[in-house]
């Protein structure tokens, strides 16, 4: 009888310990909302933020808005209903996201943005983004080197309403417009899409068979352009992309059309925003300005073998 009582007491004590662990081990919930994880860049960011938040003792809710502002609004409402300690967001639109972030602020839930800014300050605690202009300048310099004595080239850009698309294009042209021997014969939006870039490149190539190079606002479009060039048997046209996808790395290492890309530190960026969310939750401040930049890195044949999941690893 005593043995059974002792065993029951042990089980009860264990259950109480487990219960207290489940209650007290978590510092609360952090919601992490990003674009679709079908894109490796967005997936890496979500994984980085999620890993760091869990390491810091938080439960996490990881979800994708798929570029849909209405879905993003619903996910933010869910975060409010679940009394999240913070929301980490890679937003769906620089203007349309402002209203839901103001709703978050009114609910007393701090927002921490990364990758893409919104067109307003004072409603997010942090906005950590890649230094897109600096990165695009690096891409422009490499592109100019590859263009050599000059010739015709093409630019594929992201959505015209996207801040990153605008800034990257401006950074490219800050370099390329200094070379009168370079002639841009086409500039079209492929909306960050590999599929759209393929069809755009097919049409552009038919109208402009003498192009020498293609510069793109992200690596998905670079891969679409590369597929179209390969289908046309055009191994002579080089591509410079932007993002630092492992797929672009593989193309560089194989000596295919893509000769360079610009790496955004997606994983490190997302981890940094999670660290700042934790600091703010604990102390009420990050001690840092709202807008913060992280520099990008040129990836070409000299260092491509070290690129893995948006980081250079030795």
Structure-block tokens of residue 226: 């590369």
* Adjacent-strand bridge partners of 86: 30
pLDDT score at 4:
45
| Cβ neighbours of 128 (radius 10 Å) | 22
User: What pLDDT, in 10s, does the model give residues 140-150?
Assistant: 999 999 999 99
What is the C-alpha to C-alpha distance for residues 310 and 200, in angstroms, rounded to an integer? 27
pLDDT at 186 > cutoff 60: yes
CA dihedral sign, ordered 255, 258, 260, 265: negative
pLDDT at 35 > cutoff 90: yes
What three-state secondary structure class fits 20? helix
Beta-strand relationship, 258-263 and 297-299: antiparallel
Structure-block tokens of residue 192: 């960050």
What is the C-alpha to C-alpha distance for residues 281 and 107, in angstroms, rounded to an integer? 15
User: What pLDDT, in 10s, does the model give residues 46-73?
Assistant: 999 999 999 999 999 999 999 999 999 9
Q: Residue 232: name the closest of 198, 269, 262 by CA.
A: 198
209 burial class (0-12, 13-18, 19+ CB within 10 angstroms)?
exposed
User: What pLDDT, in 10s, does the model give residues 83-116?
Assistant: 999 999 999 988 999 999 999 999 999 999 999 8
pLDDT score at 88:
98
Contact 294, 244 (CB under 8 A): no
Counts for the chain of helices (H) and strands (E), in that order:
10, 12
What is the C-alpha to C-alpha distance for residues 226 and 102, in angstroms, rounded to an integer? 42
Contact 217, 156 (CB under 8 A): yes
Q: Residue 263: name the closest of 219, 197, 213 by CA.
A: 219
What is the C-alpha to C-alpha distance for residues 28 and 136, in angstroms, rounded to an integer? 39
pLDDT at 17 > cutoff 50: no
pTM (2 decimals)?
0.80
Q: Looking at per-residue confidence, does 2 or 35 come out higher?
A: 35
Beta-strand relationship, 297-299 and 29-34: unpaired
């Amino acid at each position: 009888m005593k043995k059974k009582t002792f065993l029951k007491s042990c089980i009860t004590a264990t259950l109480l310990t487990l219960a207290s662990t489940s209650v007290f081990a978590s510092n609360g919930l952090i919601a992490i909302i990003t674009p679709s994880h079908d894109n490796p860049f967005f997936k890496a960011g979500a994984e980085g933020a999620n890993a760091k938040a869990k390491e810091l003792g938080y439960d996490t809710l990881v979800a994708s808005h798929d570029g849909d502002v209405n879905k993003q609004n619903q996910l933010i409402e869910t975060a409010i209903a679940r009394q999240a300690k913070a929301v980490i967001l890679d937003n769906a639109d620089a203007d349309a996201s402002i209203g839901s972030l103001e709703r978050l602020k009114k609910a007393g839930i701090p927002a921490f943005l990364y990758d893409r800014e919104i067109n307003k300050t004072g409603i997010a605690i942090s906005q950590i983004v890649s230094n897109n202009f600096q990165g695009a300048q690096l891409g422009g310099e490499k592109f100019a080197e590859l263009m050599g004595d000059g010739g015709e080239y093409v630019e594929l850009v992201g959505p015209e309403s996207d801040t990153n698309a605008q800034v990257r294009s401006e950074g490219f042209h800050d370099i390329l417009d200094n070379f009168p021997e370079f002639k841009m014969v086409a500039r079209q939006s492929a909306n960050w899409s590999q599929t759209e870039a393929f069809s755009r490149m097919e049409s552009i190539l038919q109208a402009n068979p003498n192009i020498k190079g293609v510069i793109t606002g992200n690596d998905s479009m670079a891969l679409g352009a590369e597929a179209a060039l390969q289908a046309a048997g055009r191994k002579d046209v080089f591509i410079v992309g932007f993002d630092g996808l492992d797929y672009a790395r593989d193309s560089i290492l194989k000596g295919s059309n893509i000769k360079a890309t610009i790496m955004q530190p997606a994983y490190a960026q997302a981890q940094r925003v999670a660290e700042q969310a934790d600091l703010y939750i604990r102390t009420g401040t990050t001690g840092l300005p709202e807008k913060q930049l992280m520099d990008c890195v040129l990836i070409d044949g000299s260092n491509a073998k070290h690129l893995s999941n948006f980081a250079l690893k030795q």
